[in-house]
Chain A
Amino acid sequence: MASRLVRRVRRNPARTIPLGFLAAIAVGTGLLLLPVSRAGPGAADPLTALFTATSAVCVTGLIVVDTPTYWSSFGQGVIMALFQLGGFGIMTAATLLTLAVQRRLNLSDRLAAQLETKSPQLGEIRRVVVRIGATVLVCEAVLIGVLTARLWLGYDYRFPDALWHAAFQAVSAFNNAGFATYSDSLIGFAPDWLVNLPIMAGIVIGGIGFPVLFELLRRGSRPKRWSIHTRITVFGTAGLLVLGFATTLVLEWTNLETLGGFRVPDKVLAAAFHSVSSRTAGFNTVDTAAMHPETWAVTDLLMFIGGGSAGTAGGIKVTTCFLLAFVIWSEIRAEPDVVIGRRRISSATARQALTVALLGALLVTFGTIVLLMLTDEPLDRVLFESVSAFATVGLSTGITADLPGAGQLVLVVLMFVGRVGTITVASALALRSSRRLFRYPEERPIVG
């Protein structure tokens, strides 16, 4: 059964994975439509249920209704199960696809003997799934433990309450979902290091991607022996985190509605949290809607880039972004090949990165323009919202709940395509190749 599924996934990844996600969303919508899911009387309306289910399965975190007051405990449990399932699904699917890509390429290029990628030569599919499951469980268990202790001892929660809130937030953080059981997300915990740091750690670990995690566990202390993928992801993530931290801190330092009212250490913590959260969790400890437009612009950029490949994070992925940067750098230095840290990148890979990035940009532009037509909101807010949906972040400038039904549907589509689109497009591109027995003569249009 499992192997048949895997064979199907491998034969046609571009179709099977979206179907799996669609099924999960459908089931989630059905469950959320039950009256027992709703806190108040009556059942949720279908659009709200659909939006929430999509947001949860795609581990986004955008909401149109207030999670703790609109949904009952059962409904919140459904949501938590959905993002746990979605996060696990995306991690395994992406990792297995990567394996399939590398297998296929290995077969056709075996004579060239060039692919010596170390990360996922794990062989057995089942072992991969089990390992991912184990990693997820361990990380989440640690997070839950720390958060429970803090809520129980530090905030006088009853133990079951502390456990419930900690579990929800921890799972949400590790899967980069961004759902919270508090109406104001984590704004109430803004200056609390013992809540912020574990959640930040969960977000980063969940978002960095399984292949990287695994390689880090195996050869953590020897960066020189990491694969290119791990090096790009780790150093790129670190660079982007610092960038986001520094810009948020500087730009919002005096903004009274965000960082302005905090003491200096709290400012540092809140800026760091925002930076981590934009890749691509979606919690917030300050009011995102009150930030300066320039902070939004930087956040847009960070969200669009997103996290590591085959993790729970969204966006075009750190590797994709840095691959393109290295292509440009090589071009400027006039290297004949694209070289990253003593390894050559084939032009096929560079073209795939280009395709993923530009199709993503196209999608965001398209979504933004459609949303602009449907609402009267200004461009910066709409852009933020559609980048947040595409990269499955979940930060919001507060307009999602007020969007008309059609606008919410646009966001649903963006979340879904943004979630499954990037990985399936990338692997489908890598898996298919058509041969031509002739070549056309070369010609050179003028560039620039």
Chain B
Amino acid sequence: MAFLAAIGASTCLLLLPAARADPAGSTTLVTALFTATSAVCVTGLIVTDPGHWSDFGQVVIIASVKVGGYGIMTAATLLALLVARRLGLRTRMLATSESRSLDLANVRTVLVRVALIQLGFELAVALPLTLRWWLGYGRTFQEALWEGAFHGISAFNNGGFSLYVDSLESYVGDAWINLPIAIGVIAGSLGFPVLIELGRQLTRPRWWSVHTRLTVYGSAALLVLAFLALLVFEWRNPATFGPLGIRDKLLAAFFNGAMPRSGGFSSVDFSAMHPESVAITNTLMFIGGGSGSTAGGIKVATFLLLAFVIWSEVRGEPEVTVGRRRIAGAAQRQALSVALLGLALVAAGVLLVELLSDGFRFEHIMFDVISAFATVGLSTGVTMSAPEPAQLALAALMFVGRVGPVVLATGLALNTRQRLYRYPEERPIVG
């Protein structure tokens, strides 16, 4: 509900004439609604050139991004805390839930800490960006500060909004621009519970909770995978990495490999990439970032949990264990539900957009639909030129993709029903 309200307010503000750059022009309702949804859900998909908005409009957008990012971080963290509390109470005798990441005292602490961490990281990203634009590109200090702040906020909140129509494609070889943004996106995608725990015991990986270990190692592995895949697949593609020098190729592969986590900036044209790169990026976007973060997708921990379930099953273990910890059957079932419902949603979205639009390639539609679901913001250009009903479908997908998995997972965890009897077991044939 809070998200809906934020989207509504933001839409109204964007509809004001003051939000447009060209006073004579007009903003259609769909455009405003789409942009507002995209901003509040920290996605970054756009249907208009950023030049369409005035400075006021841009401020509205970036404020929406910040509010949306803060909202989702606090909401997800508080919900996770609630789950841990509730389960903690119920299972106190068993002394099971020993998740150290979530023993924060109360709601206010969480709210304040999230705000501080968010601000700190945004400043850390905005500062080098500002300096670079000021000193390296001859902008005035105010301009550089504005651009640095905009992209800093957009990066840490995994918004993916940029002030330029081609995202960051003009800065493809500039490490001073690329690295801070990539690091901001990665830090933002780890999630608040992980950041807190890392802050407390960064140097002692053996003490990390299972959740932190899953998220950190999983994110690292996915980053490496994306980096290598893009580098190999796009090495010779003249429309993307082909003309770059080796150093720039490495940088571009790292930058664009970090974006599916789910930042949404791009320094090369994703629509010109080979289908195999697009397919890999689709997978990575669907997985997304860490729980309790600004990233979208089904979340790294969910995905790895399922992988461990399969691994345990293949090894014939009686239980699912991750790094000397047992995972309850309920958690496995929740992971399964979140992942498969996400898959169903994406499949439905692809079909819907495919029906509502004409003349796009299947892989491009799939890319933009996953990008919307996982609130990434990368685009192959389908979003911008799709007809309005398809844009509305994407907006709905962003909203559901943003709040859906979090709410669903919590709902599943909190909701229990007692049965005083059990049915006899039966075994259908599998496979």
Contact A447 B305 (CB under 8 A): yes
Instruction: Pick from B275, B320, B412: contact of A372, CB below 8 A.
Output: B275
Contact with A along B353-388 (1 / 0, CB 8 A): 011000001110010000000000000000000000
Contact A444 B99 (CB under 8 A): yes
Contact with A along B171-203 (1 / 0, CB 8 A): 000000000000000000001010000000000
Nearest-neighbor residue (CB-CB) of B416 within chain A: A334
B84: interface (CB < 8 Å): yes
Nearest-neighbor residue (CB-CB) of A342 within chain B: B423
Residues of B close to A422: CB separation below 8 A: 431
How far does the Cβ of A329 sit from chain B's closest Cβ, in whole Å? Answer: 9
A349: interface (CB < 8 Å): yes
B105: interface (CB < 8 Å): no
Residues of B close to A76: CB separation below 8 A: none
How far does the Cβ of A350 sit from chain B's closest Cβ, in whole Å? Answer: 8
Given contacts A440-B326, A441-B325, contact A115 B419 (CB under 8 A): no
Contact B314 A429 (CB under 8 A): yes
Contact A448 B98 (CB under 8 A): no
Contact A365 B428 (CB under 8 A): no
Interface size of A as a range: 35 or more
Stretch at the interface among B5-13, B240-248, B294-302: B294-302
Stretch at the interface among B114-122, B133-141, B162-170, B277-285: B277-285
Contact B424 A343 (CB under 8 A): yes
Contact B424 A344 (CB under 8 A): yes
Bound-complex Cα distance A356 to B328 (A): 20
How far does the Cβ of B263 sit from chain A's closest Cβ, in whole Å? Answer: 20
Interface size of B as a range: 35 or more
Bound-complex Cα distance A329 to B45 (A): 32
Total CB contacts across the A-B interface at under 8 A:
263
Contact A380 B427 (CB under 8 A): no
Within 8 A of B (CB), among A297-318: 297-298, 301, 309-310, 316-317
Given contacts A344-B422, A358-B306, contact A319 B428 (CB under 8 A): yes
Contact B426 A448 (CB under 8 A): no
Given contacts A433-B318, A434-B317, A436-B318, contact A379 B326 (CB under 8 A): no
Contact A319 B429 (CB under 8 A): yes
Residues of B close to A301: CB separation below 8 A: 347
Contact with A along B190-229 (1 / 0, CB 8 A): 0101000000000000000111001000000000000000
Residues of B close to A316: CB separation below 8 A: 431
A114: interface (CB < 8 Å): yes
Nearest-neighbor residue (CB-CB) of A425 within chain B: B431
Stretch at the interface among A49-57, A224-232, A275-283: A224-232
Bound-complex Cα distance A336 to B283 (A): 32
How far does the Cβ of A233 sit from chain B's closest Cβ, in whole Å? Answer: 8
Bound-complex Cα distance A199 to B314 (A): 38
Residues of A close to B317: CB separation below 8 A: 434, 436
Given contacts A351-B309, A352-B430, A373-B233, contact A327 B318 (CB under 8 A): no
Given contacts A117-B427, A319-B430, A447-B299, contact A368 B363 (CB under 8 A): no
B351: interface (CB < 8 Å): yes
Bound-complex Cα distance A324 to B337 (A): 9
Residues of A close to B279: CB separation below 8 A: 365, 368-369, 372, 379
B22: interface (CB < 8 Å): no
Given contacts A232-B428, A444-B84, A448-B409, contact A379 B331 (CB under 8 A): no
Residues of A close to B341: CB separation below 8 A: 328
Within 8 A of B (CB), among A103-137: 105, 114-117
Contact A441 B426 (CB under 8 A): no
Contact with B along A351-366 (1 / 0, CB 8 A): 1111110110000010
Contact A445 B417 (CB under 8 A): no
Nearest-neighbor residue (CB-CB) of A421 within chain B: B431
B96: interface (CB < 8 Å): yes
B55: interface (CB < 8 Å): no
Bound-complex Cα distance A436 to B424 (A): 26
How far does the Cβ of A434 sit from chain B's closest Cβ, in whole Å? Answer: 5
Bound-complex Cα distance A334 to B330 (A): 10
Contact A442 B431 (CB under 8 A): no
Contact with B along A30-57 (1 / 0, CB 8 A): 0000000000000000000000000000
Bound-complex Cα distance A172 to B166 (A): 54
Contact B423 A344 (CB under 8 A): yes
A192: interface (CB < 8 Å): no
Nearest-neighbor residue (CB-CB) of B428 within chain A: A229
How far does the Cβ of A424 sit from chain B's closest Cβ, in whole Å? Answer: 8
Contact B302 A447 (CB under 8 A): yes
Within 8 A of A (CB), among B97-148: 97-99
A332: interface (CB < 8 Å): yes
Bound-complex Cα distance A359 to B313 (A): 12
How far does the Cβ of B186 sit from chain A's closest Cβ, in whole Å? Answer: 18
Residues of A close to B275: CB separation below 8 A: 372, 378-379, 382
B28: interface (CB < 8 Å): no
Residues of B close to A227: CB separation below 8 A: 426, 428
Contact A448 B338 (CB under 8 A): yes
Nearest-neighbor residue (CB-CB) of A300 within chain B: B347
Bound-complex Cα distance A333 to B335 (A): 15
How far does the Cβ of A373 sit from chain B's closest Cβ, in whole Å? Answer: 5
Contact A345 B96 (CB under 8 A): no
Given contacts A445-B305, A445-B331, contact A372 B326 (CB under 8 A): no
Residues of A close to B333: CB separation below 8 A: 327-328, 330-331, 338, 350
Bound-complex Cα distance A298 to B362 (A): 13
Bound-complex Cα distance A296 to B365 (A): 14
Bound-complex Cα distance A434 to B427 (A): 20
Q: List 21 A-B contacts (CB under 8 A).
A: A293-B354, A297-B350, A297-B351, A297-B354, A297-B362, A317-B429, A323-B428, A336-B416, A346-B427, A356-B430, A358-B306, A372-B275, A434-B318, A435-B318, A441-B325, A441-B326, A444-B87, A444-B331, A446-B299, A448-B302, A448-B410
Residues of B within 8 A of A (CB): 80, 83-84, 87, 94, 96-99, 191, 193, 209-211, 214, 233, 274-276, 278-280, 283, 291-292, 298-299, 301-302, 305-306, 309-310, 312-322, 324-329, 331-338, 340-341, 347, 350-351, 354-355, 361-363, 366, 405-406, 408-410, 412-413, 415-419, 422-431
Closest 3 CB pairs of A and B: A426-B431, A448-B409, A380-B362
